[in-house]
Amino acid sequence: MTELVRKPADTYSPLYFLASLGAGGVAVSFFMYLMFWVPHPDQAVPVFEDIAGAFATGGLPMQIAIAVAVAGIAVFAVLNVKSLIWNLRAYSAFKRTEAYTKLRNSNAESTLLAMPLALAMTVNVGFVVGLVFVPQLWTIVEYLFPAAMVAFLLIGVLAFRLLADFLGRVLAEGGVFDVTAHNSFAQLLPAFALSMVAVGFAAPAAMSVTPVTVGTSLVLSTFFGVTAAVYAVIASITAFNSMLQYGTAREAGPTLMVVVPIMTVLGIMLMRQEHGLHATFDAAGNGGETLVMLARILTVQLVFLGLGMLVLLRQRYFDDFVIGTKTSPGSYALVCPAVALSVMGHFFINKGLVDAGVVDKFSLAFWVLTAVALAFQAVAVALVLRLNRQHFTPTEAAAVPAE
Over residues 332-357, the pLDDT tens digits come to 999 999 999 999 999 999 999 999 99
3-class state of residue 324 by DSSP: coil
pLDDT (mean) for 209-237: 97
Q: Quick one: pLDDT at residue 397?
A: 45
Q: In whole angstroms, what separates CA 257 from the centre of its chain?
A: 12
Helix ranges restricted to H, 254-363: 259-281, 287-314, 317-321, 335-347
SS3 letters across 85-137: HHHHHHHHHHCCCHHHHHHCCCHHHHHHHHHHHHHHHHHHHHHHHHHHHCCCH
What single letter denotes the amino acid at residue 197?
Answer: V
Q: Quick one: pLDDT at residue 325?
A: 87
pLDDT at residue 401 greater than cutoff 50: no
pTM: 0.94
Angle between the N-to-C axes of helices 60-94 and 114-133, in degrees from 0 to 180, rounded to the nearest 10: 150
pLDDT band at 123 (very low <50, low <70, confident <90, very high): very high
3-class state of residue 169 by DSSP: helix
Q: Quick one: pLDDT at residue 1?
A: 38
- Whether the CB-CB separation of 215 and 277 falls below 8 Å is answered with no
Dist CA 171 CA 38 (whole Å): 50
* H or E, element range at 201: helix 189-207
To the nearest 5 percent, what fractions of the chain are helix, strand and coil?
Answer: 80, 0, 20
Dist CA 395 CA 171 (whole Å): 41
pLDDT at residue 122 greater than cutoff 80: yes
Q: Quick one: pLDDT at residue 176?
A: 83
What single letter denotes the amino acid at residue 98?
Answer: E
Mean of the per-residue pLDDT values of the chain? 93
Give how far Cα 265 sits from Cα of 192, 221, 291, Å.
8, 11, 17
pLDDT band at 156 (very low <50, low <70, confident <90, very high): very high
pLDDT (mean) for 351-378: 97
pLDDT (mean) for 196-205: 97
> What number of other Cβ atoms are within 10 A of residue 184's Cβ?
27
Helix ranges restricted to H, 208-286: 211-246, 259-281
> What number of other Cβ atoms are within 10 A of residue 210's Cβ?
14
pLDDT at residue 358 greater than cutoff 90: yes
pLDDT band at 396 (very low <50, low <70, confident <90, very high): low
- Whether the CB-CB separation of 317 and 252 falls below 8 Å is answered with no
- Whether the CB-CB separation of 264 and 198 falls below 8 Å is answered with no
Q: Quick one: pLDDT at residue 400?
A: 47
Dist CA 337 CA 280 (whole Å): 33
Q: Quick one: pLDDT at residue 363?
A: 97
Dist CA 231 CA 234 (whole Å): 5
pLDDT at residue 398 greater than cutoff 80: no
Q: Quick one: pLDDT at residue 237?
A: 94
DSSP state of 322: T
Nearest Cα residue to 32 out of 302, 400, 342: 342
3-class state of residue 177 by DSSP: coil
Q: Quick one: pLDDT at residue 344?
A: 98
Dist CA 73 CA 263 (whole Å): 23
Nearest Cα residue to 209 out of 45, 43, 50, 48: 43
pLDDT at residue 402 greater than cutoff 50: no
Nearest Cα residue to 181 out of 197, 170, 195: 170
pLDDT at residue 3 greater than cutoff 90: no
